[in-house]
Structure 1
């Protein structure tokens, strides 16, 4: 039997953890539907990590940031290119409002 090398697991940095959390918040279905999300800082987020993520977000084209009095940040964005257009590109079809179903939990 051949010996297998143990893979070392590297813990993500604070910046990486915060980046993954913010990314998950932005990619949440409701945030995508509304094109808006409010992100918040946890006590465990370092100043360096928070500032790093804020800088990355500020450099993102098409993203509006609002710094709220409670320390949260609201992100708003417009649809990219083809988002919001009917399939087939026909201008004669009006977009329907999304149907809101009751959440089963």
Structure 2
């Protein structure tokens, strides 16, 4: 009998993780970081449930303002607190 392989297959990212990665790249861009302002739209292939979850989570973040705009979009602005 063959032994089970010790190699583990990489887990595929969830649709929420893929969307989060896309949004993270936008927010972390030098232009967005300088302006502390970014506009993000849900893409047609992204789940409305994932988008709603993202909006709920970002709304809970301190120092972040969420402004809903037309067409499944949001404008995020943020401040950096002085420590």
TM, length-normalised to structure 1: 0.69
> Residues 46-101 of structure 1: CA distance to partner in whole angstroms, max 9, x if unpaired?
1111111111101101100111123210000112215xxxxxxxxxxxxxxxxxxx
Ranges in structure 2 where 5+ consecutive residues have no aligned partner: none
Greater share of residues in strand = 2
1:8 paired residue number: 9
* RMSD (Å) for aligned C-alpha atoms: 1.4
How big is the shift at 1:8? Answer: 0.9
Q: Aligned equivalents of 2:28 and 2:79: distance in 1?
A: 14
Q: Find the aligned partners of 2:45 and 2:7 in 1 and give their Cα distance.
A: 30
The size of the alignment, in residue pairs, is 79
| Matched position secondary structure for 1:44 | coil
2:20 alignment counterpart: 19
Structure of greater relative contact order (alpha carbons < 8 Å, 6+ residues apart): 2
Q: Which has the larger radius of gyration?
A: 1
Which has a greater percent of helix?
Answer: 2
